[in-house]
Amino acid sequence: MSVKELAESQYEALLYSRAVRLLRCAPDAWDLVQDTFEHALRGYDSFQPGSNMRVWLMTIMQHLFIDRCRKRAREPWVEPIDDDIVATVEPEASNKPEWATISDQHVADALEELESPFREVYKLRLLDKCSYDEIALRLLIPRSTVGTRLMRARKKLRQTLLRRASTPPRAAAAAFRASAA
């Protein structure tokens, strides 16, 4: 079968009706039919004479349809946004998470409050970038103890920082004055 015969064959109507059922859109269906014929013509050498041409073309179409579906699934879905809506929406300042107000100085202060074994392990791991094995050698403790102390240091540090973040500044200053007296 020649290229012209394939394009003008009875298969065009059959493929089109199948493509409309798959895609539910006439223009997209015509694109799928044209892509099917293009792939069939490129791979015509692989068609075995005596085989069912209809089944071969339908298989090509099915594979192309699946490829298109997979491609669309990988593409991010974008919904157009009206400019008026974007301009009127403002984030609320009161919805900030508690940790958003924590500074580096707060972390340093909280770190000084940790008990010495936890503070040493934490500083060696996060500030000096030492491995668990190096910390264990420096402090002369088992490697498993390094992990335990590091975990507990993080937990205590988190608790201290969140406690400070949730305490109003005046109350924190009063508590500091009371502890200093």
pLDDT one-digit tens code per residue, 130-170: 999 999 999 999 999 999 999 999 898 888 887 777 665 55
Segment 46-79, tens digit of pLDDT: 888 888 888 999 999 999 999 999 988 888 877 7
- Of residues 71 and 101, more confidently modeled: 71
pLDDT band for position 91 (50/70/90)? Answer: low
State the pLDDT at residue 80: 73
Start-end of CATH 1.10.1740.10 domains in the chain: 3-74
Segment 11-46, tens digit of pLDDT: 888 999 999 999 998 889 999 999 998 998 888 888
Encode burial over 140-179: b for 16+ CB neighbours within 10 A, e otherwise: ebeeeebeebbebbeebbeebbeebeeeeeeeeeeeeeee
DSSP secondary structure code for residue 43 in this structure: T
Q: Mean pLDDT, the chain, as a whole number? A: 80
> Which amino acid, one-letter code, is at 113?
E
Residue 118's nearest CA partner among 158, 145, 150 is 150
- What pTM did the predictor assign? 0.42
State the pLDDT at residue 2: 60
Q: Cβ of 74: how many Cβ atoms within 10 Å?
A: 7
CATH code: domain 101-166 is 1.10.10.10
Answer yes or no: is pLDDT of 180 > 50: no
**What share of the chain in percent tops pLDDT 90?**
31
* The CATH classification of domain 3-74, taken from the options 2.60.120.200, 1.20.120.430, 3.20.20.120, 1.10.1740.10: 1.10.1740.10
State the pLDDT at residue 99: 62
Start-end of CATH 1.10.10.10 domains in the chain: 101-166
